[in-house]
Amino acid sequence: MDVSNAMFDVIKGDLERLEERLIEAVSSPEDELVTEVGTHLVTSGGKRIRPALCLLAAHGGPAFSLAHTLPLATALELIHTASLVHDDVIDKADTRRGAPTANAKWDNKIAILVGDYIFARAFRLVAENEYGDHVANRLAQLVGNLSVGEIIQDKQMYKAARDEADYYARIQKKTADFLEICCELGALVGGMDAAAVAKLAAYGHAIGMAFQITDDLLDILETSEQIGKPAGNDIRQGIVTLPVLRALAVSPAREELLAIVTDPAMTDEMVARALAIVRATDGAAFAQAKAEAYLSRAKAVLPEELPEDIRDAYEQVADFIGQRNF
């Protein structure tokens, strides 16, 4: 990860320490293959937004301690990494962030087992540092929600449900809950009061919703080289995202698009045609407007008592999500 990104300058040293902790956490004294796979996973890129949100929140509190916060931030990134490993197996993905996935480089069995190992390492870090029942319960709830979100998505594949509310419920479990918990728990271990913790949790929820919407937008608008995975991959997997929902509502070619996105046997040519139909509508602009509304909400809810440098960093994170192209 490039820790020189300006939005994280205030915690640059913390993130450098995080990289060391991640490698330590995935290293197994009992098996070299576990260490090899784990190291590949945590050194293959990543924006580190989840641990950064946690660290920023903790810095904003009166009781900040890096020694106490870093294991939690590490655990959050490990949970994210493990969930991506399992996602890649489910999706039969060959690349992520421009690097081979664990299932492509080794095989599905190794990927799943190392993913399980990384989950276990995350919860061991939490247990060893005595964060209390609330933190442990919230992290367990998080992993449960990630799993439920994937199951909901799997049940909706190739069905082209037209209800926006279902889409928002799915991305809340898939992404927003995670960023909300990162901010909430960081604020909690940093010693913020209950009102400030709730506001930062609301910020995390809002940027999480925006993050997933923009991620779905990138799948429609950008090239495979830019996003580090095949463009149009959501359509190929029968996952109907917000730009596609909009196109299904307004496109003159909606019936053709519907036939494509509900066909499990779709070809590359069909995916390209579906992308062309969506791009010819205001689907992307519609989704972008929704993301921008969430980002405005996020900035507005930040606690007033945050130190200026922490507030600036949080605002830059929101701006990054709105402007990113990878």
Q: What is the DSSP string of 168-199?
A: HHHHIIIIIHHHHHHHHHHHHHTT--HHHHHH
Contacts of 245 (CB under 8 A, 6+ apart): 162, 164, 167, 283
**Domain 6-323, architecture per CATH:** Orthogonal Bundle (1.10)
Angle 184-188-191 (CA atoms, 0-180°, nearest 5)?
Answer: 145
Task: Identify the pLDDT of residue 70.
Answer: 96
Cα dihedral value 231, 233, 236, 240, nearest 10 = -110
pLDDT digits (tens, 9 = 90+) for 226-240: 545 567 888 998 889
Confidence (pLDDT) at 105: 82
* Predicted confidence (pLDDT) at residue 114 exceeds the cutoff of 60: yes
Q: Give me the residue spans of the domains in the chain.
A: 6-323
Average pLDDT taken over every residue of the chain: 89
> Which of these ranges, 55-69, 226-240, 243-257, has the smallest mean pLDDT?
226-240
**Residues in Cβ contact with 19 at an 8 Å cutoff, skipping those fewer than 6 apart:** 1, 3, 42
191: phi then psi, degrees, rounded to nearest 5: 90, 20
Per-residue pLDDT band at 4 (split at 50, 70, 90): very low
Q: Tell me which DSSP letter residue 5 carries.
A: -
Residue 14 has pLDDT above 80, yes or no: yes
**pLDDT of the residue at 223:** 58
Show Cβ contacts of residue 257 under 8 Å, excluding neighbours closer than 6 positions. 244, 247, 248, 251, 274, 277, 278
pLDDT at position 162 is 67
CA 122/CA 115 separation, integer angstroms:
11
How much is the average pLDDT of 182-211? 96
For residue 33, name the pLDDT band (cuts at 50, 70, 90). very high
Span 120-178, pLDDT tens digits: 999 999 999 989 899 999 999 999 988 888 888 778 778 876 688 888 988 898 899 99
Question: What is the average pLDDT across 80-102?
Answer: 84
Average pLDDT of the residues in 248-256: 95
Runs of H (alpha helix) within the chain: 12-26, 32-42, 49-59, 66-91, 102-105, 108-128, 133-156, 164-171, 177-189, 194-221, 224-227, 233-236, 242-250, 254-261, 268-279, 283-301, 308-323
Amino acid identity of 93? A
Q: Which string of DSSP letters, residue by residue, matches 100-161? A: E-HHHHS-HHHHHHHHHHHHHHHHHHHHHTT--HHHHHHHHHHHHHHHHHHHHHHHHTTT--
Number of Cα atoms under 13 Å in the Cβ half of residue 132: 6
pTM above 0.85, yes or no: yes
Categorize the per-residue pLDDT at 3 as very low, low, confident or very high, splitting at 50, 70 and 90: very low
